[in-house]
Structure 1
Amino acid sequence: MEEEPKRSKPSPAISSSCPPMALEITTDGRLPLSDELDENGFPVGPLSSSSFDDGGGDRGGDPQIEASIASTSDFASDFYRCGTDWSCLAEESSAGKENRELVQRDLFQMWGIKKPADGWGSGSGSLVSSPSRKTRRRMIGGAGGGDRVDQEVPQLKRMRFDRGSDRLPVCPFYKKIPGTPFTVDAFRHGPIEGCSAYFLSHFHHDHYGGLGKKWSHGPIYCTPLTARLVKMCLSVNALYIRPLELDAEHVIEGTKVTLLEANHCPGAALIHFRLSNGQIHLHTGDFRACKQMESYPLLLSHHINVLYLDTTYCNPKYRFPPKEDVVDFIVRTARKCLEKQPKTLIAVGAYSIGKEHVYAAISQALEVPIYTDSSRRRILQSFDWPELSRKLCSCGRTSPLHVLPISFLRHENLSEYLKTYKQQYAAVLAFRPTGWTYSGTTGNQLDLIKPSSKGNITIYGVPYSEHSSFPELRDFVKFLKPDKIIPTVNAGNPTSREKMQAYFREWLKS
């Protein structure tokens, strides 16, 4: 992963980005699936056409929204029509009922898969079923992206799975922009029917996964910096890469598209789509909402109909401080440590891109260069960030500031790493900057953070995140007041979805 350990993606359709799922297969090799599934993996058939009161006002029956998604499945149509309360729409199958209504179901029911008698886990999304002698477990969809089926199961053909990796699951509808031939961060699915433009929000693996030198399915639209990384790191043919400058309107397939700064990693963008029918969709990709976004002219002057929202930290417990405050704390801590032990090696954890402001601030404050390996230096030098490029060095012995993979920052690893530099340094001070390092601290309480120390190795987990905190998400939604919110993160089970929908309804009331 190139990002913070992220959470399962929304799972309305089984895709290669979904966590592995254990399915019970009976002795005759059949899955108890419903008779028909649409291209998104949902039961087909007419669903209720009534509007839904989501607690935030009646948003049902908008003819513009319905027209823009006329080509999608019945489920997708109801999804876009039902306001913010979209959780687990499924058909009520009560005998004798002519007028069918939509009810909330868990994901297995929504896919038409019968729930085993011994249970499939709890609301947390864990899978704990134990197969009997008459059943066998099969894993469908691994973290590595390749879909694996150990034996031929005819029913899987309805869900567009095949043996091996020759055929991929279809793109889930929530990655498609209805009313357009566009998809966002949907590269794992091969050529997508009806898609003539593929958008990439930023250069993190869980978003660009599927791109490579063999890509030939259509043009890739992204920021210039992301375009350079796609070409340099993934060897994608330059003929398919279409960089779009930030804050400039581009007309693509009849839709006006504008990329806005996302305050995430370098090159990340919010994607603003203005459809020919007047509908406006805003896809945040991954972002950290801030007050500056409330001054974006495009967001001030145009009402957002559909918001695709990065909900990584859509939980009230995540109230970490502003990035600037966390960086100041890191710099203060580094200085204090060096005063006590001048022969201290400072290590900062980072992904292939992201967290640059942390080690750039330390470098500036301590007036020392930044050591990274050659691969990271090559990436950083492509940013067109002269102040940072000038500070990079290629020898670890000439600088006490080292940038390392964030997953490497463990006591045992750092102890071994220190042995390489035992002539220069006697201790290691490491910082793991991630919002997942939650300490309950805000504001000036950062000084209450307790490090983890073993011998001469000290590791600080600091709440520095490039995703929005809960209050920042709330303020952003209240500023935009969109008609509909589609969470793109942590929507993998009914419990989390229902909680997020409750937050959305509350935010949209005011």
Structure 2
Amino acid sequence: MMPLFADASAPSPTKEGEGEEELFPHNGYDYDAEDDALSGVVLLNEEGFPLELAGEDDAKNGAEGSEKTPGKGEFAADFYLCGTDWSCLLPEDCSGSVKLKRGDLVHDPMPSGKKLKQVNLLQIWGLKKNSDEDSFSASSIDYKQSLSGNFDAGDGGGILSGKKSVKAESWESMSRDVQTHSVKSNHFRERMNNGDVNRRSPACPFYKKIPGTAFTVDAFRYGCIEGCSAYFLSHFHSDHYGGLGKKWSHGPIYCTPLTARLVQMCLSVNPLYICPLELNIKQVIEGVTVTLLEANHCPGAALIHFYLPNGQCYLHTGDFRASKQMQDYPLLVNQHVNILYLDTTYCNPKYKFPPQETVLNYVVKITDNHLKKQPRTLVVVGAYSIGKECVYRAISKALKAKIYANASRRRILQAFGWSELSDSLCTNGNNTFLHVLPMASLRFERLKDYLKTYEDQFTAVLAFRPTGWTFNQKIGNHLELIKPISKGNITIYGVPYSEHSSFTELREFVQYLKPDKIIPTVNIWNEANREKMKSYFRDWLRG
């Protein structure tokens, strides 16, 4: 008998929980900002959309005033160019100030503050080529020594003229530090040019590798993985596709057709590397029979079923919401699963979600009742880049309302190829009461500002935050006990609509499959969590 639980002990990741759900609070994957910079991954804006979608503008309507169209040069560019503040090197009562412009030191005659900054973090890290105008080095500072032993910055007597000045030794020390750093940056760039970046890429963890094959699942941020000839993507959420971008060239990417369209459209991956596989169709890849099954997560998400020539069978769930219907999947009925790679986002007994349909009916009921009392209410549903579509579609269908979303989201929704959804979208926020916003926008101040854009049309906001993290044990399935939070004319409901399996659903799924071995893929970095999950798995399989 194979061991029940693979001990996924590993050093703690550099950063936990970046967020496609909240936006990804359950993300247990290694993450480092430098990984993205090295791999050419597309950065996401605060809405969870790839910044490369910025070319399309919304139709001119009331929404423009409240939502920025995502674009290059917003947060990411500002952050990486913001640099390091060295103001402490200047005298406290210096009468002038220094400001940086495109990497050069210039004089600011106004005493508005004392600043001395290295402006380009990419340059510091060696990730951007130095140019004459971007370089910050001792040679770019035009200074001369005065008779008094002080330095002047260029022609105007500048920052160091007057009563206070920086001594020559201070400038010389700064120059030495900058030159030393320049040598280090050049060395790093040389290593990159020579292809010596492997030691900067984190090692691919074992639970992303399929034993007995040359396959990995959701392992794109690890670069070119030794021995891997096929890369599988379970769904289009950034904690799973992280590492994919237009520079991807490490091997074929297998995923569902819907995910394939999003990978090409949003991440600009070369289509030669994208290999779409239809659901429920067996495909033989390098001698292994691979079948993708509906995962009941976000659009395009799939369970990945591997059947090896030696008779071993492995099932990788990616992210999924287990359901009774899955027990009727022919492959799961007829083939014993030896190893189950399990989405354990909510593997905790306190999470016992109500059925999705129950939550949707509740949301529609609350919306209908609210509109009857206050017809001029703007209804907002929080969502991720993809996911939660069922919530606003349920309202749209029941109340016969169009759905407004900004241009970036509309482009993604239309890529699903669902005619009913595409036909229900509208481009002008004034033409419908039903709007979709990023989950992060469901805060009172943001919603208040958003409402101002439509103040001629609406007088109040009713918002829904549909996520499993809002689940309350005391309420359970009694959704009528949910108490919204209100502030003025803004009301927000947290509803336990989850696209991940609850604890009870995980238990039922495992007890149905009875796998020989379970490998959890989420929340594994804490030893206490691993031990708890191990005990749960043992109990489930004994039952």
Assess same fold via TM > 0.5.
Answer: yes
Structure-1 separation of matches of 2:328 and 2:296: 14
* Aligned residue runs from structure 1 range 59-208, under 5 A: 167-208=200-241
Contact map agreement 1:203 1:229 (CA 8 A) in 2: yes
2:435 to 387, 392, 402: 402
Name the residue aligned to 1:220: 253
Name the residue aligned to 2:291: 258
Contact map agreement 2:337 2:514 (CA 8 A) in 1: yes
Instruction: Report how many aligned residue pairs link the two structures.
Output: 371
Q: Report how far residue 19 of structure 1 moved.
A: 13
1:333-376 residue CA offsets vs partner (Å, 9 max, x unmatched): 00111111100000000001000010011011111100000010
Contact map agreement 1:9 1:17 (CA 8 A) in 2: no
Name the residue aligned to 2:267: 234
* Residue 480, structure 1, aligned to residue 495, structure 2: no
1:171-220 residue CA offsets vs partner (Å, 9 max, x unmatched): 11111001100000000011000000000000000000000000000000
* Residue 3, structure 1, aligned to residue 18, structure 2: no
Contact map agreement 1:325 1:443 (CA 8 A) in 2: no
The verdict on how the C-alpha distance between 1:452 and 1:305 changes in structure 2, with shifts beyond 3 A counting, is same
* Aligned residue runs from structure 1 range 110-509, under 5 A: 167-440=200-473, 445-509=478-542
1:78-131 residue CA offsets vs partner (Å, 9 max, x unmatched): xxxxxxxxxxxxxxxxxxxxxxxxxxxxxxxxxxxxxxxxxxxxxxxxxxxxxx
* Residue 16, structure 1, aligned to residue 53, structure 2: no
Instruction: Please list every run of at least 4 consecutive aligned residues from structure 1 whose deviation after the TM superposition is greater than 6 angstroms.
Output: 17-20, 162-166
Contact map agreement 1:314 1:469 (CA 8 A) in 2: yes
Structure-1 separation of matches of 2:525 and 2:477: 35
Read off the aligned partner of 1:439 and give its amino acid letter.
N
Identity percentage of aligned residues: 68
Name the residue aligned to 2:42: none
Gaps of 5+ in 1: 21-145, 153-161
Structure-2 separation of matches of 1:485 and 1:17: 27
Structure-2 separation of matches of 1:165 and 1:250: 32
Read off the aligned partner of 1:401 and give its amino acid letter.
L
Contact map agreement 1:219 1:241 (CA 8 A) in 2: yes
Structure-2 separation of matches of 1:248 and 1:442: 41
Read off the aligned partner of 2:503 and give its amino acid letter.
F
Q: Report how far residue 18 of structure 1 moved.
A: 11
Read off the aligned partner of 2:201 and give its amino acid letter.
L
Contact map agreement 2:353 2:477 (CA 8 A) in 1: no
Gaps of 5+ in 2: 1-18, 36-125, 128-180, 186-194
Structure-2 separation of matches of 1:444 and 1:492: 31
Q: Report how far residue 440 of structure 1 moved.
A: 2.2
1:417-456 residue CA offsets vs partner (Å, 9 max, x unmatched): 1000000000000000000112226675100000010000
Read off the aligned partner of 2:308 and give its amino acid letter.
L
Contact map agreement 1:225 1:266 (CA 8 A) in 2: yes
Q: Report how far residue 384 of structure 1 moved.
A: 1.3
Contact map agreement 1:8 1:19 (CA 8 A) in 2: no
The verdict on how the C-alpha distance between 1:329 and 1:304 changes in structure 2, with shifts beyond 3 A counting, is same
Read off the aligned partner of 1:243 and give its amino acid letter.
P
Contact map agreement 1:259 1:272 (CA 8 A) in 2: yes
1:458-480 residue CA offsets vs partner (Å, 9 max, x unmatched): 00000000000010000000000
Contact map agreement 1:230 1:236 (CA 8 A) in 2: yes
Structure-2 separation of matches of 1:17 and 1:203: 19
Q: Report how far residue 7 of structure 1 moved.
A: 4.1
1:385-412 residue CA offsets vs partner (Å, 9 max, x unmatched): 1111100000001110000000110011
Read off the aligned partner of 2:428 and give its amino acid letter.
C
Contact map agreement 2:347 2:502 (CA 8 A) in 1: yes
Q: Report how far residue 164 of structure 1 moved.
A: 8.1
Read off the aligned partner of 1:338 and give its amino acid letter.
L
Read off the aligned partner of 1:16 and give its amino acid letter.
Y
Contact map agreement 1:314 1:473 (CA 8 A) in 2: yes
Contact map agreement 2:295 2:321 (CA 8 A) in 1: yes
Secondary structure (helix, strand or coil) at the match of 1:436 reads: helix
Task: Flag the structure with larger Rg.
Answer: 2
Name the residue aligned to 1:85: none
Structure-2 separation of matches of 1:410 and 1:475: 36
Read off the aligned partner of 2:366 and give its amino acid letter.
T
Structure-1 separation of matches of 2:524 and 2:214: 25
Name the residue aligned to 1:112: none
Contact map agreement 1:6 1:312 (CA 8 A) in 2: no
Q: Report how far residue 6 of structure 1 moved.
A: 3.5
The verdict on how the C-alpha distance between 1:459 and 1:278 changes in structure 2, with shifts beyond 3 A counting, is same
Secondary structure (helix, strand or coil) at the match of 1:188 reads: helix
Structure-2 separation of matches of 1:10 and 1:329: 32
Q: Report how far residue 228 of structure 1 moved.
A: 0.4
Structure-1 separation of matches of 2:433 and 2:536: 45
1:468-495 residue CA offsets vs partner (Å, 9 max, x unmatched): 0010000000000000000100111111
Structure-1 separation of matches of 2:34 and 2:332: 34
Q: Report how far residue 3 of structure 1 moved.
A: 2.5
The verdict on how the C-alpha distance between 1:468 and 1:405 changes in structure 2, with shifts beyond 3 A counting, is same
Secondary structure (helix, strand or coil) at the match of 1:432 reads: strand
The verdict on how the C-alpha distance between 1:442 and 1:423 changes in structure 2, with shifts beyond 3 A counting, is same
Query: TM-score normalized by structure 1?
Result: 0.70
Contact map agreement 1:326 1:463 (CA 8 A) in 2: yes
Name the residue aligned to 2:115: none
Q: Report how far residue 225 of structure 1 moved.
A: 0.3
Structure-1 separation of matches of 2:504 and 2:465: 23
The verdict on how the C-alpha distance between 1:337 and 1:10 changes in structure 2, with shifts beyond 3 A counting, is closer
Contact map agreement 1:304 1:481 (CA 8 A) in 2: yes
The verdict on how the C-alpha distance between 1:241 and 1:393 changes in structure 2, with shifts beyond 3 A counting, is same
Structure-1 separation of matches of 2:466 and 2:459: 23
